[in-house]
Amino acid sequence: MNITFPIAAFAASTLMLAGPAFAHATLSPTTAANGATVKVAIAIPHGCDGAPTDTVSIALPEGFVSAKPMVKAGWTIEISKGDYQKSYELHGEPVTSGALAVTWAGGSVPDDQFDEFVVQGSLQGFDADASLPFVVTQKCGSASVVWDQIAAPGENAHALEHPAPTLAVTAAATAGEHDHGAMTMAAPASVTVGALEISNGFSRATLPNAPVGGGYVTITNTGAEADRLVGAASPVAGVAQIHEMKMEGDLMKMNEAPDGVEIPAGATVALKPGGLHIMFMQLKQPLVQGTRIPLTLTFEKAGSVEVELSVESPAAKGPAEDHSMHGG
């Protein structure tokens, strides 16, 4: 299998393959618990009738408090602040006001590409499960699209023309409690098979209906003989393949590594974004941030071993890295 990517599009390559899933503005992660701090990524899938998107505004719903937008190179950010409808308690302190809307402007998302706009906030005050809409206004010069329709109970949101991206909030955590685990989770424990140690297993959250995802691990060979990673499998995917990335001119090419990956004696090999990785194809379900997925790795000499991958944010570079984003 050989797939070619222009350099500028490579970072978004696995999500771009989702095709029809990008008809609407979408949100990731799709679920989170009350009391959690989450990074909400809104994906803008296309422009307006061929024109590039130059402005994106997100109205933040009640209960998504102390929100902070992520900076984007080439875009300016305007934050509209005001009073919340009620008072919340965060870190033992009352919170009565904050960001109500965020607008990114001045950039450009061509019609044949997509981009994500990220806001981090804390979910507070939900004593029952709820569906939280993030109303999005997408502008392309004088044209605009407003993603604001909310599905009625029992109605399929995908049947709406302009559905608002929504976050399903569960009342699992106590109001006012900060759940570090919902924003990111501790890296899975290292696993040993023969002379090999597998650690730092993680994946990236995917959008609903995305057909592919990636898996990443670090493999250390403590033995005196080389081994080889020759296969992978996971119940979340119909097919799992070992892939490698190579530059050819100004193009990045992703190929299946039919002979696997050599793990030299005394060496460490990292499968990571932009390089060697496990490609999950024919995904059977979305990869949801804050969950874990099983992965079976097969080695030429050491045999097979099952490891766990923590599902991190769509842009994660490693497991449990997002505590650096927490400002409190």
Is 51 domain-assigned? Answer: yes
The parts of the chain modelled with pLDDT lower than 50 are 1-22, 173-184, 321-328
pLDDT of residue 248: 67
Domain boundary among 160, 182, 204: 182
| DSSP symbol at 46 | -
| 278 within 8 A of 295, measured Cβ to Cβ | yes
List all residues 6 or more positions away from 65 whose beta carbon is below 8 Å from its beta carbon: 84, 88, 90, 95, 98, 121, 122, 123, 124
3-26 exposure pattern, b = at least 16 Cβ within 10 A, e = fewer: eebeeeebebbbbbebeebbebbb
Domain stop point among 182, 205, 232: 182
State both tokens at 98.
């904050």
Q: Are 184 and 39 in contact (CB under 8 A)?
A: no
Q: Is the sign of the CA dihedral 165, 58, 149, 36 positive or negative?
A: positive
Residue the block writes with tokens 């990785």: 277
- φ/ψ of residue 249, rounded to 5: 65, -125
Q: Per the domain annotation, does 121 fall within a domain?
A: yes
Measured in degrees and rounded to the nearest 5, phi and psi for residue 120 equal -105, 135
Q: What 3-state class would DSSP assign to 11?
A: helix
We report the CATH number of the domain holding residue 24 as 2.60.40.2230
Does residue 229 contact residue 298 with C-beta atoms inside 8 Å?
Answer: yes
> Amino acid identity of 175?
A
Q: What is the pLDDT of residues 32-51, one digit of tens each?
A: 888 888 889 998 888 888 89
Same-domain check for residues 141 and 216:
no
Q: 114 in a domain, yes or no? A: yes
Provide the 10 A C-beta neighbour count for residue 205.
24
* Same domain assignment for residues 44 and 80: yes
Identify the domain containing residue 247 by its residue range.
191-325
Residue-level pLDDT at 138 = 94
Note whether 115 and 195 are same-domain residues. Answer: no
pLDDT for 2: 44
Whole-angstrom distance, CA of residue 304 vs CA of residue 224: 19
Would you say residue 141 lies in a domain? yes
**What is the distance between the alpha carbons of residues 42 and 26, in angstroms, rounded to a whole number?**
6
Domain count, the chain: 2
Burial of 35 (0-12, 13-18, 19+ CB in 10 A): buried
Neighbour tally for 86: CB within 10 Å: 10
**Per-residue model confidence (pLDDT) at position 294:** 92
* Domain-located, residue 13: no
Based on the domain organization, do 294 and 237 belong to the same domain?
yes
Report which of 220, 199, 229, 197 is spatially closest to residue 266, judged by C-alpha positions. Answer: 220
Q: State pLDDT tens for residues 68-108.
A: 999 988 999 999 999 999 999 888 889 999 999 999 999 99
Count Cβ atoms below 10 Å from residue 106 Cβ, excluding itself: 11
Cα–Cα distance measured from residue 189 to residue 318, given in angstroms and rounded to the nearest whole number:
14
Q: Which helix (H) or strand (E) holds 297?
A: strand 292-299
Q: Are residues 30 and 154 in the same domain?
A: yes
